[in-house]
Amino acid sequence: MSIENDPMAEIRATFFIECEELLEALQDGLQAMEEGGTDDETINIVFRAVHSIKGGAGAFGLEDLVRFAHRFESVLDAARSHQLEIDGEVLSVLFRAGDMLNDLVSAARDGEAVDPSLTEEAGKALDALIGADGPDGDGAEEEEVADFAPMALSLDLGPLDAGEGAEENAAGSDVPAAPGEAGAPGGPMAGPDGSPVSAGTGFRIRFRPHSALFASGNEPLHLLRLLDEMGTMTTLCRAEDLPPLGEMDCEKSYLHWDIFLETSEEENAIRELFDFVEDVCDLTISPLTGEDMAELVRHAEAIAREEVSPGGTAGDGALMAGDAPGSSGEVASGKPEAEGSPPPSAPKTRKAGGRSVGSGRNEGGSKAAGKGKATGGVKTKPTVRVDLERIDRLVNLVGELVINQAMISQSVEKAGLLTNPEIDSGLNEFMQLTRDIQDSVMMIRAQPVKSLFQRMARIVRESAAAVGKNVRLRTEGEGTEVDKTVIENLADPLTHMIRNAVDHGLESPEERVAAGKPAQGVVTLSAGHRSGRVVITVSDDGGGINRERVLRIAIDKGLIPENAELSDNEIDNLLFLPGFSTANEVSDLSGRGVGMDVVRSAIQALSGRITIQSRPGEGTTFTISLPLTLAVLDGMVVEAAGQTLVVPLNTISETLTLGARDIRVLGPETRMVQIRDTFVQLFDLGAEMGYRPPLESFAGKVVLLVALEDESRAALVIDGIVDQRQVVIKGLQDTFGRVPGVAAATILGDGKIALILDPADIVANSRNKAPNTQADLSLAG
């Protein structure tokens, strides 16, 4: 069934989206509480989040979720009313409960199940906080979990339809149903459907509203009408307390009713009707007795007399049957609008009423109307839910536009038309517009990293618990917006880095105390924009990288020669080598054979870079730098071996033209260029890409100095630089899988495809082919 056709499916989808927001608010709240914000409003926000999840879950019959949310909510309620003091221990239970709630929501959304023992464990921890002994502390409420099925509404509105019939009946007969017709006192009586009911099947109800009933917006009229629907009703409106007209206070209640209701309903059903008003009225309900029936007949006779002589007064009481409240109400309640108005009947055209949703609001009226009936007149920040595919299509189209714009510029230039000022400025405007459109489209895909960071908060909690450390996660720049795909693809590498930080980065609490640090370690996750890129850091305040050990391991594993002399930074970067793992024993957490090399590959796949800084005793920081978007890139268009290639501009630190004397030779193949006081290895791009055999001489060639991840540099030899421009990134992955040394492709102004290079990968591939040049590392710094 498509979502458009099924309003419940649509609401269900809304519910899960809302759950995400609520879970986010919950995390925020718990975090604020952790940072000392245990004020009422913060606790209330957390409470409200859980409460709303429970409410929605109940409507969809998600019982596991409701049950757990209920236990959670009880604890929060205790916190809210200051019966429970929030301390670190309580918080950790709350955090765990938050995680569990998260899992339960995901499971409910995906139709999966959560291991009940885990739920129970978290639930028990909650119960323990408030001394509750199980989920059935408030069983009554849970039993109300019922599948919400408005679709069944039109079939299932018993009271409504019955009411309609009864009212029509009542309205149609001017003569009230005489009690005589209903049967002699004590004799057999006819039910509403004409079937005989035994004597006394029914109730005598005395109903005296207090003034407060009216003050609370209640109206006896409605209740009497509903009573009437339950059977055959005769009502005596007692007006003996009515003061003279001039002394009447329309806020006050002077009337009461004696009601004789012949019905097969239970007393409970009648009491339920008065549920809202039981505290603001005197209500006695007793089974009908023979005496009651006799009284009924007397009044019936009285009213029959009045029918004959309409001039007569009602005396001590007006008797009405059937449509009793119709005229008594106006006197009693002082609500003139009830007068003479036909009794409300059930809507005959059920759809009609929904039309004017959201109407009648002056401000933002048109906005509300545009939102359609699903949101009605709600004044929210207007949002639309859009299929990601549609956005991607738009992104692609904008990419086309960018290419097309470049093509037009190129042909206009070729045709020598740029001398025409109108064409020139028109073209410039076109270019600007294209850029603006592109930026706007990219912004659609951007999301704050907050949700990602919150997931990491959970990783911190879980890994800290697993290794018995006390760890706090600090986050900065949660509002930083990053492309959705980037966020999705960052989750795995970040998870790994966080686990690493907790597991390896931070010392044990004892070691920390011994080193004069607080026992609680801090992992900081930050995000921000820096010079057109997104920078995300993961840092810990641990002991820093144990370089001696790292070096030892690298040598033992044959990753570097025994006698290698590496700078601190180079040692740190050994962590990124494939197959490197610092853990002595494979730890439960960050082991599993996944090393930082995998993290680096994942970051590189996002066209990002990762670097490491570490200070002994102070901690380690990993810095991830990513392009703002995966769709465009500032590139340098170059030529090598007759091919046009694009080098990402942010990888290039310098360009220069080689003179014959700049080149030094090392060993049989390795050539280097001296840049100021360092030597940088030269890579023949045309040969590395397999376009042609290596060149004999590099003299006169152009060199691109590129920065590598380990902060060393390499020099790519090219034929020349063509242009510098923004290019649209086209994935090669879809059509071809990974091509070594190539990050992606783009389409140039002439319609040709050019490859976008990954210089670090080219260098790495080249070095892997000739492992004996590894020692050059020491010169490259």
Question: Encoding tokens for residue 12?
Answer: 């269900």
Q: How far apart are CA 760 and CA 650, in angstroms?
A: 12
Q: Are 494 and 445 in contact (CB under 8 A)?
A: no
* Interface stretch with another protein, choices 284-292, 465-473, 707-715, 749-757 (CB under 8 A): 749-757
* Interface stretch with another protein, choices 394-402, 592-600, 654-662, 664-672 (CB under 8 A): 394-402
Q: Is 221 in the site for another protein (CB under 8 A)?
A: yes
Q: Residue 184 or 374: which CB sits closer to another protein?
A: 374
Q: Are 23 and 102 in contact (CB under 8 A)?
A: yes
Name the minimum Å distance from CB 153 to another protein: 5
In the set 186, 191, 200, 377, which binds another protein (CB under 8 A)?
377
Q: How far apart are CA 210 and CA 173, in angstroms?
A: 32
Considering only residues 668-707, where is the footprint of another protein by CB under 8 A?
688-691
Q: Are 499 and 622 in contact (CB under 8 A)?
A: no
In the set 107, 137, 148, 391, which binds another protein (CB under 8 A)?
148
Supply the DSSP symbol for 342.
P
Q: Are 235 and 321 in contact (CB under 8 A)?
A: yes
Q: Is 248 in the site for another protein (CB under 8 A)?
A: no
In the set 293, 755, 760, 763, which binds another protein (CB under 8 A)?
755
Q: How far apart are CA 780 and CA 672, in angstroms?
A: 10
Name the minimum Å distance from CB 273 to another protein: 6
Q: Is 378 in the site for another protein (CB under 8 A)?
A: yes
Q: Is 726 in the site for another protein (CB under 8 A)?
A: no
- In Å, how far are 26, 60, 108 from 64, measured between CA atoms? 19, 11, 9
Considering only residues 302-331, where is the footprint of another protein by CB under 8 A?
none
Q: Residue 153 or 418: which CB sits closer to another protein?
A: 153
Q: Residue 269 or 423: which CB sits closer to another protein?
A: 269
In the set 174, 193, 275, 696, which binds another protein (CB under 8 A)?
275
* Interface stretch with another protein, choices 220-228, 413-421, 428-436, 513-521 (CB under 8 A): 220-228
For the beta carbon of residue 576, count every other beta carbon within 10 angstroms: 19
- x/- mask, another protein, residues 44-83, rule CB under 8 A, reads xx-xx--xx-xxx-xx------------------------
Considering only residues 433-472, where is the footprint of another protein by CB under 8 A?
none
Considering only residues 612-671, where is the footprint of another protein by CB under 8 A?
643
- x/- mask, another protein, residues 115-144, rule CB under 8 A, reads -------------------------xx--x
Q: How far apart are CA 656 and CA 703, in angstroms?
A: 5
- x/- mask, another protein, residues 332-371, rule CB under 8 A, reads ---x-------xxxxxxxxxxxxxxxx-xxxx--------
In the set 96, 204, 225, 713, which binds another protein (CB under 8 A)?
225
Residues 6+ apart with CB under 8 A from 525: 453, 456, 473, 474, 475, 476, 494, 498, 536, 537, 538
Q: Residue 88 or 111: which CB sits closer to another protein?
A: 111
* Interface stretch with another protein, choices 298-306, 428-436, 472-480, 742-750 (CB under 8 A): 742-750
Name the minimum Å distance from CB 462 to another protein: 29
**Number of residues engaging another protein in binding (CB under 8 A):** 110
For the beta carbon of residue 311, count every other beta carbon within 10 angstroms: 5
Residues 6+ apart with CB under 8 A from 694: 669, 684, 687
Q: Residue 149 or 184: which CB sits closer to another protein?
A: 149
Q: Is 216 in the site for another protein (CB under 8 A)?
A: yes
The C-alpha angle 136, 137, 140, rounded to 5 degrees, equals 75
Q: Are 190 and 177 in contact (CB under 8 A)?
A: no
| Antiparallel, parallel or unpaired: β 713-718 and 678-684 | parallel
Considering only residues 155-184, where is the footprint of another protein by CB under 8 A?
156-160, 163
Q: Residue 240 or 249: which CB sits closer to another protein?
A: 249
Conformational region of residue 322, where left means phi above 0, alpha means psi within -120 to 50, and beta covers everything else: left
Considering only residues 21-40, where is the footprint of another protein by CB under 8 A?
none
Name the minimum Å distance from CB 117 to another protein: 27
Total residues found in the chain within this entry: 781
* Interface stretch with another protein, choices 89-97, 277-285, 478-486, 698-706 (CB under 8 A): 277-285
Q: Is 713 in the site for another protein (CB under 8 A)?
A: no
Name the minimum Å distance from CB 43 to another protein: 12
Half-sphere exposure of 414 (CA within 13 A, CB side): 8
Supply the DSSP symbol for 519.
S
Q: Residue 203 or 214: which CB sits closer to another protein?
A: 214
Q: Are 608 and 625 in contact (CB under 8 A)?
A: yes
Q: Residue 47 or 260: which CB sits closer to another protein?
A: 47
Residue given tokens 């990954």 in the structure block: 758
Q: Residue 283 or 583: which CB sits closer to another protein?
A: 283
Q: Are 201 and 189 in contact (CB under 8 A)?
A: yes
Q: What is the 3-state secondary structure (H, E, C) of 457-486?
A: HHHHHHHHHHHCCCEEEEEECCCCEEEHHH
Q: How far apart are CA 385 and CA 379, in angstroms?
A: 16
Q: Are 775 and 564 in contact (CB under 8 A)?
A: yes
